[in-house]
Chains A and B, each alone.
Chain A
Amino acid sequence: MNWDKFIVDGLKHGDPLIIGAVVSIVLVSIAIVAGLTYFKKWGYLWREWLTTVDHKKIGVMYIISALVMLFRGGADGLMLRMQLAAPEMKFLTAQHYNEIFSAHGIIMILFMAMPFIIGIMNVVIPLQIGARDVAFPRLNAVSFWLFFFGAMLYNIAFVVGGAPDAGWTSYFPLASTEFSPGVGNNYYAIALQIAGLGTLMTGVNFIVTILKMRAPGMTLMRMPMFTWSTLITCIIIVFAFPVLTVALALMMFDRLFGSQFFTMTNGGMDMLWANLFWVWGHPEVYIVILPAFGIYSEIISTFSRKNLYGYKSMVASMAVISLLSFLVWVHHFYTMGQGAAVNSFFSITTMLIAVPTGVKIFNWLFTLRKGKIVFTTPMMYSLAFIPIFTLGGVTGVMLAMASADYQYHNTMFLVAHFHYVLIPGTVFAVIAGMYYWFPLIAGFKLDERQGKAAFWTIAISFNVTFLPLFFLGLDGMTRRQYTYSAETGFGPLNLIATIGSVGLMIGFAMLVYNIIWSFRHAPRETKGDVWDGAGRTLEWATHIPVPVYNFAVVPEVDRLDAFYFAKKEKRSLFKDKIEKIHMPSNNGQPFILGAIFFFWGFFMVFSMWKSAIVAGIGVLILLAMRTFERDHGFYIPVDEVKKTEQSYGGDSV
C-alpha cells in the first residue's frame, strides 16, 4: 500500500501551520479519548447522546458542532485577513490561501450556518407546536449523523491527502481533474454529498412534523412565525437540495470515473456546473436567512411585549421570497455573456426580492413601535440586525443591477455585501436564538452583562472588518486574491479590516467564555416562562429544563400567541389529565450508519474501490436491518410522568 497519497503536501514541506493543525487534531483526539476513559463517560456518551433520538439533544449536538465549526471557519477567516493585512505579505502561500478561503466558505455556509439553524429548529419547533418530538425521530438522528460525519470527512482533508482549493463554488473546469489533480475536490464532492443527504432528510422530516403534529387548535395561521419560517425553509430545502445532490454526483462521476459533464472537451460544459450550483446555491441563501427572520420575529415580539405586526404579510412575504429564490440564480454570473435580455430578466426578479424583505423590515419596526422595548442580549442582536442588514440589503439591490454588477462582480464589494447580509442576518440570529432559547435546555440564562459585552465587541468589529471592503471593491480589488502590490493602494483599508477581524475573534471568544462561565455560575431558573413572563409561544408553557416528553399534557390552542393570552386571562392551555406517554426508543444505528458513510466517503475520495464497495454494502445492510426491524417505542407510565412533574414543583399543569 502506498501511504504517500494520504500525506498532505504541507506536511512534506514542513509548513508550520499544517504541522500545527495535525498536532492539535491528534492532541485533541487523545485528550477526548483519555478524558472519556478517565471519567468513565463512554457509557454515558453512548446512551445519552450517540444513540439519542430526542429532538432536543440532537439540536444541542447540531449547535455544538456548529459552534466548533464557527471557530474553525473563523480561524480560517482570521488567517485570510492576516495574509491581506499589508501588501506582499508572506504569511500564507497562494496554495494555502486558496485552500483556506475555500474552507472558510464551505464551513461557514454548510457546516456552521446550516447546522446552527437546523439545531435551533430541532430544539424549538416541536416545543413551539406543542409536540413531543419530530415526526420521524430516528430519521432525525440519521440526518444529524450524516451531517456530522460529512463535516468530519471534509475537515480531515487538511491533514489527510489535501484540501479542496477551487473555492466554495468549485467552478469547473478549475475543479476538474485536469486543473485540480489532487484529492481535495474529491473531498468536496463526497463530503458535501453525505452532509447534503442529511439536510434533505431534515427538510422532509420538519415539513411532516409541522403539517401533522401541531397541537389541537393550532391552524396554520396560528403558528408562531419561527415555525412558519421553518416550514417554508424546509420546502425550499426539498426543492433545492436535490439539485446539489445531482450536481455533486455529476462532479463525482467527472472526477472519479472520467465522465465529461463539466470538462473542456467532448461536449463538457463548464457553465452547466455554474448553473446547477447556483440553482441550489441561491435558494440555499434563503434557507439560512428565512429561519433567521423567524427567530427575529419571535424575539422582537417578545421583548417589545407586543404581538407581531402584520402577521399575514410576514407569512406572505416569506412565501414570495421562497418562490423568487428559485428565479434569480443567474445573477451570480451576469458576466457569463448571456446578453442583455436574460440579464435584465434576472435583474428584475432579484430586485423584486427587496419588496417582501422591505415589508418585513417595516413590520418589525412597527412591532417595536408602541412597544415596551427591553434590551436583553438576544434583543440587542435582533435590533442590531435591522440597520446592518438593511445596509447589506440595499447593496444587494445595487448588485442586482446587471450593468453595475459588471463592475462589482468578483470584487471585495460583493464580499462586503454577502458578509453584511449573512452575519447580521444568519449569525446574529442564531446567536440571538441561542441566548433566547438557551434556558429551555440548560435551565438557566446566559449571563446578560457578559453577553452584552460580547455583543458590542462583535457588532462593532463586524463593521470595522467589512465596511472597508465596499471601498476596496470599488477600487478594483478582487476577491480570492492572496496578495496585492503596494502600488494598488489597497493597504490601509485592508489593515483596518484585519484589525476588525481580530476584534471579531475576541468577540466570539467572549461569547464562548460567556457560555462556560454561565454553566458554572448563572442562577438556575425555577419557572418555565423565564423572560420575565413575556413568553408568547408554547415553548414557554412547559417546565425548564424541558422534560424528555416536552409536555405532560398536550396543550390546546385557540388563537395566535395562545400562551400569552392564557396567562393574561388566567386560563390553562392544558385541559386533559396526565396519561402514559408514547416515546421513541434510542438506537445506535444512525450513528453507525453515519460512521460507515464516513469510511465509504474516505475510500471513495482515494479511489479505494474494494474498500468502498465493502462500506457501501455495510450501508445497505443497515438499511435492510431497519426495514425488517419492529420497534414501536415505549411508554412512560403515568406515575413516572407525575413524579417528574412534581420534581419541577408541579404547579404548571
Chain B
Amino acid sequence: MKKKGSLLVILTLLTFLLSGCTSELLVLNPKGPAAALLSETIIFSVLMMAGVLVVVFALFTIILVKYRASNSSPDYEPPHDEGSLKLEITWTLIPIIIVSILSVVTVKSTIAVEKPPAGYENQKPLIVYAASSNYKWHFSYPEQGIETVNYLNIPTGQNVEFRLYSYGPITSFWIPQLGGQKYAMSDMVTKLNLVADTPGSMMGKNSNFSGKGFAKMEFEVLAMSQGEFDEWVNDVKKTAPPLTEEKYDQLLKTEFVGRESFSNTHLEFRPAPEDHSSHFKKPGQKDENESDNHEHHEGHGEQHNEETEVEDHSNH
C-alpha cells in the first residue's frame, strides 16, 4: 500500500543520506570549518526531522490499517469526537520544543558562519574581492596586487574575507565545500569569511539566476599551502599583463571569457561600491572613499599598487 511504500522510501532515503552517500554530496563533504559546521547542522536537523517523520508515518500506517471500513463491522458507527484539549496541547507543545531546540542551533550556527571561523578570529584575513559581471567572476587580491578571472586560488589555513559585488543582476557567490553562499549586488559590498582546511580543487559557482549564461558561471577554487600561494602570486605579478581601465571595460562587456590573470587590480580605477551612499551619486562621479582604500593598502605594505595605478592613468 501507499503509506507503507512511502515509509519504506523515506527510511531508505535516510539511511542512503546518512551512510556512505554523505561523503559524495558536496554540501555534506566539507573542506573548511564553516562548511563543516553547516554540514553538522544539516545532519542534526535531518535526524530531528526523521524523528517527526517516523512518528507521523507510524501513526498514519496504524490508523489506516486499523480503521479501514473493510476492517470494521457493517453496523459500526464512528463515535462523535470533538477533540481532546490534553492531546491538542501535547501536539502543540512538542513541536514548540522541537522548534526551540532548532532555533538555538540555528541562531548559534548563523552567528558563527557570519564571523571568521573559530580559531581564526585574530588572524589577519586575506582580502579577496569577488565581483560578477555578465557570466564571469573577477577575483581581485588588493594586498597582493593581482587579479584573476574565473579562477580562484587561496592558501589553506588562512581566513579569506570575500567582498562581493556585482556589475548587474544579483548573483550569489557559493563554494559549497567551504561554506554557505551570499548575494553579490550592484549597490553594496557583502562580506563572506571562508577558510579551506585541506589543499585541493573545489567547485565554486554563482547560484542565483542572472541571465542566459548563468549555467556557465562556475569557477575552480584551488586551495594550496601558503608557500605555493605566495609562489603563485609572485608568478602572476611577474608574468601576467597589467589590467588597464580600457581593457577592463572591454572585459566587462564580454559575456564569456576563459581564465585570465593580471598583475594589478581593477579596484585601483574602479573601486567597489563599499560606501552605501555611492549609489545616490550620478554614475561616473568620483568616489570619495578611494583614499581609504589606499591607506588600507599601504598598511599592508603594498605601495606598489599606487605606482601601477599612476602608470595606468598616464596610459590614457
Q: Scan residues 1-42 of chain B and give those whose CB is less than 8 A from a CB of chain A.
A: 2-3, 6-7, 9-10, 13, 17, 21, 24-28, 35, 37-38, 41-42
A167 and B102 CA atoms in complex are apart in Å by 32
* In the complex, B82 has a CB within 8 A of chain A: yes
**Chain B residues within 8 Å of A383, by CB:** 2-3, 64
Nearest-neighbour CB distance to chain B for A288, whole angstroms, equals 22
Q: Offer 19 A-B interface pairs, CB within 8 angstroms, sorted by A.
A: A173-B169, A174-B209, A265-B283, A267-B280, A270-B187, A304-B67, A305-B78, A307-B81, A344-B111, A347-B107, A369-B63, A372-B76, A374-B69, A380-B2, A386-B60, A391-B10, A401-B102, A401-B110, A478-B205
**Given A405-B180, A407-B38, 4 other A-B residues pairs in contact with their CB atoms under 8 A:** A264-B187, A358-B92, A409-B172, A476-B205
Tell me whether B2 and A476 are in contact (CB under 8 A): no
Tell me whether B25 and A387 are in contact (CB under 8 A): no
Residue of A whose beta carbon sits closest to that of B16: A471
Tell me whether B111 and A373 are in contact (CB under 8 A): no
A344 and B180 CA atoms in complex are apart in Å by 15
**Chain B residues within 8 Å of A592, by CB:** none
In order of increasing CB-CB distance, the 10 nearest A-B pairs are: A406-B180, A337-B190, A310-B83, A174-B169, A394-B49, A403-B109, A410-B207, A481-B215, A306-B78, A480-B209
Nearest-neighbour CB distance to chain A for B281, whole angstroms, equals 9
Nearest-neighbour CB distance to chain B for A259, whole angstroms, equals 16
A313 and B92 CA atoms in complex are apart in Å by 10
Tell me whether B67 and A368 are in contact (CB under 8 A): yes
Residue of B whose beta carbon sits closest to that of A337: B190
* In the complex, B112 has a CB within 8 A of chain A: yes
Q: Scan residues 436-473 of chain A and give those whose CB is less than 8 A from a CB of chain B.
A: 456, 459, 463, 467, 470-471, 473
Tell me whether A359 and B215 are in contact (CB under 8 A): no
Q: Give the one of A355, A380, A463 with max B CB within 10 A.
A: A355
Tell me whether B9 and A463 are in contact (CB under 8 A): yes
Contact with A along B73-94 (1 / 0, CB 8 A): 0001111111110011001101
Q: Scan residues 174-222 of chain B and give those whose CB is less than 8 A from a CB of chain A.
A: 174, 176, 179-183, 185-188, 190-191, 203, 205, 207-215
Tell me whether B27 and A171 are in contact (CB under 8 A): no
**Chain B residues within 8 Å of A264, by CB:** 168, 186-187, 279
* In the complex, A365 has a CB within 8 A of chain B: yes
Residues of chain A touching chain B, judged by Cβ–Cβ distance below 8 Å, are 94-95, 98, 165-167, 171, 173-174, 178-179, 264-271, 274, 304-307, 309-313, 333, 335-337, 339-340, 343-344, 347-348, 351-352, 354-355, 358-359, 361-363, 365-366, 368-375, 380, 383-384, 386-388, 390-391, 394-395, 397-398, 400-407, 409-411, 456, 459, 463, 467, 470-471, 473-476, 478-484, 488-489
**Chain A residues within 8 Å of B56, by CB:** 361, 365, 386-387, 390
Residue of A whose beta carbon sits closest to that of B105: A401
Instruction: Tally the A-B contacts, defined by beta carbons under 8 Å.
Output: 288
Tell me whether B42 and A481 are in contact (CB under 8 A): no
Tell me whether A406 and B113 are in contact (CB under 8 A): yes
Tell me whether A363 and B77 are in contact (CB under 8 A): no
Residue of A whose beta carbon sits closest to that of B209: A480
Nearest-neighbour CB distance to chain B for A399, whole angstroms, equals 10
**Chain A residues within 8 Å of B64, by CB:** 368, 373, 383
Chain B interface, >50% SS class: helix
Tell me whether A355 and B99 are in contact (CB under 8 A): yes
Contact with A along B41-65 (1 / 0, CB 8 A): 1100110010011001101100110
Q: Give the one of A344, A351, A384, A404 with max B CB within 10 A.
A: A404
Tell me whether B180 and A403 are in contact (CB under 8 A): yes
Tell me whether B172 and A474 are in contact (CB under 8 A): no
Once A306-B78, A406-B180, A406-B182 are accepted as A-B contacts, the answer to whether A335 and B172 lie under 8 Å apart by CB is: yes
**Chain A residues within 8 Å of B7, by CB:** 387
Tell me whether A365 and B60 are in contact (CB under 8 A): yes
Tell me whether A390 and B52 are in contact (CB under 8 A): yes
Once A305-B78, A387-B7, A474-B27 are accepted as A-B contacts, the answer to whether A409 and B169 lie under 8 Å apart by CB is: no
Partner of B181, one of A95, A165, A410: A410
Tell me whether A398 and B46 are in contact (CB under 8 A): yes
Residue of A whose beta carbon sits closest to that of B6: A387
A511 and B69 CA atoms in complex are apart in Å by 26
**Chain B residues within 8 Å of A347, by CB:** 103, 106-107, 110
A369 and B112 CA atoms in complex are apart in Å by 45
